[in-house]
Chain A
């Protein structure tokens, strides 16, 4: 086991009173996997990452990295881990090359090894002439690639990435996902935190979902989604004819695989086993009942459904605080969403 943690607790004392950032976290991360730590802002992801990387002491509990205790064998741990913080950690007062060289020298490399390693990393991350530019002029994605290269200088066996794609545009995000997947191919273990559902889904082999300092669920993305049930949800926004819609209700409920039919305002929702197959039948039924269909969304179960079921709240980047019903505005977070206009 590459990372093991038991009973980790951490409470911060702030002016507004104590904040319990971690309320007893247990974790086991096998080696050679990309392990995702998914949770909304303020859930405790950075707090745990800082404890595992020896930057902060837990109030209670123990953690080991590659068998070494983070509190009592910090030096051994530091030799084996790489860390890219949420802020990135690139010194903007220096060139990328100077940043990389310092990192390599501090990891104990000789001058000639350093030159060779900087060359290797520059090729691997396509840094090239970017290395001699002022760091301030790099794009968000370029800065993150440099930060990742810096974390990898000493070939760590475990890499910690705290929100590695925070604030990147979609293109740069996908590029970075490829770099992170390549780490796994090298045999490294990756521990990353994220509050992007699609990132957790697309990139991670194994996930822990954290909310308010507690892990609410753990497993592979597919297993987590299976656990909450395999229904798709069809959402139909109707125009005129809302009042008459209930006439079609019995017929809709009779569709093959339909489990639940309910209204949210002028949106009709149908929870159904195979949404794609049922969609044409549903539209025909609505048409026959004289109901005007404005738009249709089909969503497969996603990690937000897992979060909703485990916490009773919907997942949102703003701290998962408000009760938000499933709605078409979240369709882009689903794995399989399609939209049809009119009918």
Chain B
């Protein structure tokens, strides 16, 4: 099981790194956000110290990254299904758990690498946080990545078709992002929007990362964030696993 999982994991990582789209979009883009947005924020937010800006903005970039980086894994998976790759692997004696786990762990490892890069670039720009907070942030990233990737795989396995997958994803993305307060904090929003934000797990993820960015590790936001994301991960992973078992007996 371990051996099989690590073989799939290694293969999927190699596949990711070989893909120029992942390297450009996945690594360069989040860095570009930082490089382009932060000077803009400085212009807008006169007076506030630079590191305070970064502490609001970097958590937003990280959460956004976690979503963007894992939201489309189902789309790639549909391509593998169409090419018969999923069937080919399913005819080997490899455990189904290893097939699924190796793949999703590679998705999460990719995300962790991207997050570390963003944190490093932010550090160079003046973002200072305690290493233990960074570790907790990464743990939140892992949970968030696992949930979004599972959701994406489950949708792909149930829809079985790229066109409907894309339209559902497009339909979901914008409201979820806006209602998370990722880019514009929800404290500026009207009451109904804040209420909607509270129902959005992403919002709690952002708030938890923001609390950690200011080293407030004991904040209720952090506890809530971990609980909400753990629950979300359990739900989406179960859904994905069930859908996978139905597709690959």
Contacts and interface: CB of A to CB of B under 8 A. Distances in A.
Contact of B85 (A50, A79, A91, A107): A91
B229 to A, nearest CB: 30
A91 B83 contact: yes
A307 B82 CA distance: 31
A309 B89 CA distance: 41
A310 interface: no
A83 interface: yes
A169 B85 CA distance: 24
Contacts of B248: 55
A75 B92 CA distance: 8
A307 B83 CA distance: 32
B242 interface: no
A98 B11 contact: yes
A54 interface: yes
Nearest to A160: B91
A89 B93 contact: no
Given A54-B249, A98-B14, A102-B7, A90 B92 contact: no
Contact of A86 (B11, B84, B89): B84
B100 to A, nearest CB: 14
Contact of A102 (B11, B18, B91): B11
Contacts of A89: 83-85, 87-88
B166 interface: no
Interface in A262-309: none
Contact of B4 (A74, A75, A106): A106
Contacts of A98: 11, 14-15
- B7, B8, B80, B93 pick with most chain A CB within 10 angstroms: B93
B11 to A, nearest CB: 5
Contacts of A108: 93
- The secondary-structure label for the interface of chain B is helix
Contacts of B11: 94, 98, 102
Contacts of B15: 91, 93-94, 98
A56 interface: yes
Interface string B1-22: 0001001100100110011000
A274 B66 CA distance: 75
B88 A83 contact: yes
B90 interface: yes
Nearest to B247: A55
B25 interface: no
Given A98-B14, A106-B94, A93 B88 contact: no
A25 to B, nearest CB: 19
Pairs of residues from A and B, 4 with the lowest C-beta to C-beta distance, nearest first: A87-B84, A89-B88, A89-B84, A85-B84
17 contacts: A54-B249, A55-B90, A55-B249, A57-B249, A75-B93, A78-B93, A88-B83, A89-B84, A89-B88, A90-B84, A91-B15, A93-B15, A103-B88, A106-B7, A106-B92, A106-B94, A107-B93
Given A85-B84, A85-B88, A89-B88, 9 more contacts: A78-B93, A85-B87, A87-B82, A90-B83, A92-B83, A93-B15, A93-B19, A105-B7, A150-B88
